[in-house]
A = this chain, B = another copy of it.
Amino acid sequence: MKKLLNQVERVELEMLQGIAKAHPQYLKKLPDYNVLVRAQPKTDKVALVSGGGSGHEPAHGGFVGTGMLDAAVAGAVFTSPTPDQVEAAIREVATPAGVLLVVKNYTGDIMNFEMAAEMAEMDGIKCMTVVTNDDVAVQDSLYTTGRRGVAGTIFVHKIAGAKAEQGASLEEVQAVAQKVVDNVRTMGAALSPCTVPAAGKPGFEIGEDEMEVGIGIHGEPGTHKEKIMSANDITDHLLGKILADIDYTGHEVAVLVNGAGATPLMELYIINNRVADVLAEKGIKVYKTLVGNYMTSLEMAGFSISLLRLDDELRALLDAPADTPAYKA
C-alpha cells in the first residue's frame, strides 16, 4: 500500500484537521467529533446535515458552506458514522426551523442517521430525512436494500441547500430534496480498485485488460467485469442504462461526470465529449455540466455519469449562489 499518511488510525482525524486548517473561512471541526460545521452558523434556516464514511472527498466536508451543507459527519473510511457523531452534528447546527438529514442509501448510514435523529427529536429538535438512491447499476447490493446512493447526492446537497438558504420550511426543503432524488440517475465503471488504509490491500483484483462495470463508491467490485472498452463505448453503455431508467425526453438536464479519485481530468473530459454528443443526438438539452472529483473512492481509477432531469424550480436552485471549499456557484 503506497499512501501519503502517518498512521492508519489517524487518517480521518488528520484529514479533517487539514481541511479545517485549509478553509477556516468556511468551516471548523468539532473538538470532540469527526464532524465539520460551518464557521459561521446560521440560526434562521433549515440546517442540512450529511456525511457517511470517509474516502469520498471532497464529499462531504468540502460542501460545508453557504448554500449547501451546515454539517458533514465523517465516519472511518467507507464506514458509516456512529449515531453519537451524527447526533453531535445535528445538535451543533439545529435551528428552530429544523434539520434535514441527507443520507445515501446504505444500511449502516440509514440506521445510524435514523438513531441520531430519534435521539435529537427526544429533545425537541425537528428532523426530516431524505435518502438518495441514484445508482441504476443494481437493484439491491451487498450493503443496501434498494439502490445505492452515489454521486447524484451532490445535486441534493446543492439544490436542497439553496432552498434552505432561501428560508423555506423543513417540509419544503425535504420535498425539493426528494424531487432531486426522484429525478437523478447515476452509473459508474472502474479501471482499478482502491485500498482502504486499514485493510492495506485493494478491494478487488482486476486484469490489465478488464474493467468493473456498475461500481458503487466503497471500493466494492461492480456488477460484473468486462473487457476494457473505448471511452465512447463505455460511455454509451452507462448512458444507455441511465436513459432507459426514466424518461428524459423533452427535459433539460444537468450532467455530472464524476471522477473516482485517480482518473485524470483529461479522461473525464473525453467522456464528457461523448456524453454531450449522445445527449445532443437524442435532443436532450444540457443546461449545466460538472466534470471533476466530487464523490470519490480514494484512489480508484474510474468515473460515473449522473443525469438530473430539471424543471424550473431545480434549474433556479442549481444556479443559486453556493460558496464552499469544493463547490462555488
User: Could you tell me which A residues sit within 8 Å of B by CB distance?
Assistant: 2-6, 11, 14-19, 21-23, 54-55, 57-58, 62, 191-192, 208, 211, 228, 230-232, 234, 255, 257, 261-274, 276-277, 286, 289-291, 293, 296, 298-299, 301, 303, 328
Q: Is the CB of B19 within 8 A of A269?
A: yes
Q: CA separation between A273 and B16, bound complex, in Å?
A: 8
> For A6, what are the chain B residues with a Cβ–Cβ distance below 8 Å?
230-232, 270
> For A19, what are the chain B residues with a Cβ–Cβ distance below 8 Å?
269, 272, 291
Q: 26 A-B pairs, CB-CB below 8 angstroms? A: A2-B208, A4-B234, A5-B231, A6-B230, A6-B232, A14-B231, A15-B266, A15-B273, A18-B269, A19-B272, A19-B291, A21-B277, A21-B289, A22-B255, A22-B289, A22-B290, A55-B266, A62-B265, A261-B262, A261-B264, A262-B262, A262-B264, A262-B299, A263-B299, A264-B296, A328-B328
> For A11, what are the chain B residues with a Cβ–Cβ distance below 8 Å?
266, 270
Q: Is the CB of B273 within 8 A of A303?
A: no
Query: Nearest-CB distance from A144 to chain B (Å)?
Result: 24
Total copies of this chain within the assembly: 2
Known pairs A4-B303, A21-B286, A22-B255 / 12 extra A-B pairs, C-beta < 8 Å? A4-B231, A4-B268, A11-B266, A14-B273, A16-B269, A18-B268, A21-B276, A21-B289, A22-B291, A54-B266, A57-B269, A262-B301
Query: Nearest-CB distance from A215 to chain B (Å)?
Result: 13
Assuming the A-B contacts A54-B266, A264-B261, A264-B298, are A271 and B4 also in contact, with contact meaning beta carbons closer than 8 angstroms in the complex?
yes
Q: Is the CB of B301 within 8 A of A299?
A: yes
> For A21, what are the chain B residues with a Cβ–Cβ distance below 8 Å?
272-273, 276-277, 286, 289
> For A289, what are the chain B residues with a Cβ–Cβ distance below 8 Å?
21-23
Query: Nearest-CB distance from A84 to chain B (Å)?
Result: 23
> For A16, what are the chain B residues with a Cβ–Cβ distance below 8 Å?
269
Q: CA separation between A192 and B228, bound complex, in Å?
A: 22
- Kindly name the residue among A211, A264, A277, A289 whose own CB sees the greatest number of chain B CB atoms within 10 A: A264
Q: Is the CB of B291 within 8 A of A265?
A: no
Q: Is the CB of A270 within 8 A of B301?
A: no
- Return the chain B residue nearest A59 by Cβ: B265
Query: Nearest-CB distance from A95 to chain B (Å)?
Result: 28
> For A15, what are the chain B residues with a Cβ–Cβ distance below 8 Å?
266, 269-270, 273
Q: CA separation between A232 and B17, bound complex, in Å?
A: 14
Query: Nearest-CB distance from A111 to chain B (Å)?
Result: 25
